[in-house]
Amino acid sequence: MSELTLRAKQLDAADALAPLRSRFVLDDVVYLDGNSLGALPTNVPARIEDVVRRQWGELRIRSWDESGWWTAPERIGDRIAPLVGAEPGQIVVGDSTSVNVFKALVAAVRMVDPARDEILVDATTFPTDGYIAESAARLTGRTLRPVTPAEVPAALGDRTAVVLLNHVDYRSGRLHDLPSLTAAIHASGALAVWDLCHSAGALPVGLDEHGVDLAVGCTYKYLNGGPGSPAFLYVRRDLQDRFDSPLPGWNSHAEPFGMSQSYDPAPGALRGRVGTPDILSMLALEAALEIWDDVSVAAVRAKSLALTDFFLECVAAYTEPGRVTSVTPDLHEERGSQIALRCPDAGDVMKQLIERGVVGDFRNPDVLRFGFSPLYVSFAEAERAARVLAEVLG
């Protein structure tokens, strides 16, 4: 047994989160793609069977009231709230991340002085955020200006209305400085909208603590809500009365069953709702979130950093120098919960890894991405992944 294999066993034996692994449906595959789709929690299938057979099959329309379907968006939002550092009553669940980015951006523009005619968007963002930002700018008569997060402080000015940023870069795993960037945005008189897709459920966010205005995030990555599970929208409490959604719907009406021809928005974060919630995927998400009842985000973050540190150490020990290079920052304060390795033949390498039971993913043109979900990934798996990578690389 190698020294690193032995250390992995020791680290797993000391891991307080290790028992949580049994609460997921896993096999012998090393699954390091939870930053794209989280593993299935074991309690979800039975919950969905109950939703389908009893709530839908027997109670039918009565389930909107008797099974709590109607209040699911805000109830599940309150479950997510502590995981991103928010008090209850500020998060609503529903729609996709893209739709929620659109709501947040347009609503933010509507809150600021009309003379502020520029939207800043993260130039390194996931493409859809950029597409949505460009559309929002056209619809609101603003100019869109792409800048990197590092360039934001210098780019801010009297023209800045809103800034849309990613908390963690989806390619490199770089963690951006949400507290200082939010403070700089506020100092300029603008509003901050944060995309938390690669941080919610992986590390502390501190939305309330740092005064974030609006935030969105998906739930199928580190929150393990399932493919296409609904996203969430955070609206800071003191902004809720000014939140003017570009997608008003009957579900966000103050009297949804009044069927009024004029729109009167509901109070609070409910303004973020639009149409009929996607109940099946929403209740699967609610079941998945039960895993977090006794889990500290701080403990998850500590394990995430330990896992990624150990993986990088194993890669360095097992692979030929220079064969792969990490594009993920070494500094803990700049690292999310993934490791991205640059490799000239990354596409072929990832195919071979998957064939050998190590699942990560490939990002054009040359990046191998490995996501570490601390709730179920072990140190032994991190060591095995690095060892198989070295074998594939020759």
Residues with a catalytic annotation lie at 126, 195, 220-221, 369
**Strand ordering across the sheet containing 367-371:** 325-326, 338-342, 367-371, 361-363
DSSP character string of 20-89? GGGGB---SSEE-BTTTSPPPBTTHHHHHHHIIIIIIIIIGGGHHHHT--TTHHHHHHHHHGGGGT--TT
DSSP character string of 109-123? HHHS-TT--EEEEET
* CA neighbor of 314 nearest in space, from 381, 390, 394, 383: 383
Which single residue is written with the structure tokens 């659109």?
Answer: 102
| Backbone φ, ψ for residue 195 (5° rounding) | -95, 115
Establish how many alpha carbons lie within 13 A of residue 272's alpha carbon, considering only the half-sphere containing its beta carbon.
35
Do 354 and 342 contact (CB within 8 A), yes or no? Answer: no
Instruction: Report d(CA 327, CA 63) in Å as an integer.
Output: 49
Long-range contacts of 43-51 (CB under 8 A, 24+ apart): 43/287, 43/288, 43/290, 43/291, 44/226, 44/284, 44/287, 44/288, 47/283, 47/284, 47/286, 47/287, 48/280, 48/283, 48/284, 48/287, 51/279, 51/280, 51/283, 51/284
Long-range contacts of 139-146 (CB under 8 A, 24+ apart): 139/106, 139/246, 140/106, 140/109, 140/110, 141/117, 142/109, 142/117, 142/118, 143/117, 143/118, 143/119, 144/118, 144/119, 145/118, 145/119, 145/120, 145/121, 146/120, 146/121, 146/122
